[in-house]
């Protein structure tokens, strides 16, 4: 994984020319425009060094997210924030390294007695914490959750801990644990599909349900 750091350039002050001598008309030469030093070249760092920097920057980002009730951040947004905030960037796809960063952050916040802040990070397409959440469960001495919906419900409860810990403004009733909006849409759509598939065919003659045999018991 190729990493580099960038250093912003700083302006150089330029002094204006002195006024002409007294025996000449007193005029003033405009000061030249300020110039900037050339941008410092990027300094490469190793993948391990880069991940160390990102892990250190992760907790403030996640604490900020937790400060908003039902706040979430996607893997891509999280990776972008870490690179922007630290100046350590990579061309590597976040999917190649964000999991390792999340695992280390999960371990750090657990050791500090803080709620599982990594539950706030979800997949951009599906809105799920996914199997990477198993690291949170492992740290809690809990078994992995194989059922996707059950895993996401567990993560939703963990997020409520994060919102309370970060003093997010909650509804008067204390708020409720919620799936991410995107995953909630997926679940709702799947439930609707299952209901439609479960509805039996109706006989057009007697309007009774047709059994799996495909023949109406009343009209056959």
The whole-number pLDDT of residue 215 equals 76
Which parts of the chain sit beneath pLDDT 70?
A: 1-42, 195-200, 207-208, 210, 212, 220
The whole-number pLDDT of residue 214 equals 72
Tokens of 32: 């030249």
Per-residue 3-state assignment (H helix, E strand, C coil) for the chain: CCEEECCCCCEECCCCCCCCCCCCCCCCCCCCCCEECCCCCCEEECHHHHHHHHHHHHHHHHHHHHCCCCCCEEHHHHHHHHHHHHCEEECCCHHHCHHHHHHHHHHHHHHCCCCCHHHHEECCCCCCCHHHHHHHHHHCCCCCCCCHHHHHHHHHHHHHHHHHHCCCCCCCCCCCCCCCHHHHHHHHHHHHHHHHHHCCCECCCCCCECCCCCCCCCCC
The whole-number pLDDT of residue 71 equals 98
- The angle subtended at Cα 171 by Cα 168 and Cα 176, nearest 5°, is 85
Domain boundaries, the chain: 44-166
The whole-number pLDDT of residue 183 equals 96
pLDDT digits (tens, 9 = 90+) for 98-156: 999 999 999 999 999 999 999 999 999 999 999 999 999 999 999 999 999 999 999 99
The whole-number pLDDT of residue 103 equals 96
């Amino acid at each position: 994984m190729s990493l580099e750091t960038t250093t912003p350039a700083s302006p150089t002050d330029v002094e204006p020319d002195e006024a002409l001598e007294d025996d000449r008309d007193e005029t003033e030469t405009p000061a030249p425009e300020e110039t900037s030093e050339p941008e410092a070249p990027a300094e490469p760092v190793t993948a391990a060094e880069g991940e160390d920097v990102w892990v250190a920057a992760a907790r403030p980002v996640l604490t900020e997210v937790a400060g908003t009730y039902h706040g979430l951040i996607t893997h891509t947004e999280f990776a972008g924030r870490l690179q922007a905030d630290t100046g350590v960037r990579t061309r590597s796809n976040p999917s190649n390294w964000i999991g390792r960063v999340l695992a280390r952050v999960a371990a750090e916040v657990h050791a500090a007695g803080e709620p599982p802040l990594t539950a706030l990070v979800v997949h951009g397409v599906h809105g799920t914490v996914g199997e990477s959440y198993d690291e949170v469960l492992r740290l809690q001495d809990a078994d992995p959750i194989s059922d996707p919906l059950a895993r996401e419900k567990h993560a939703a409860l963990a997020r409520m801990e994060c919102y309370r810990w970060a003093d997010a403004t909650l509804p008067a009733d204390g708020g409720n644990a919620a799936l991410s909006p995107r995953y909630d849409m997926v679940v709702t759509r799947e439930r609707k599909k299952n209901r439609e598939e479960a509805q039996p065919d109706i006989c057009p003659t007697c309007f009774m349900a047709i059994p799996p045999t495909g023949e109406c018991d009343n009209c056959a």
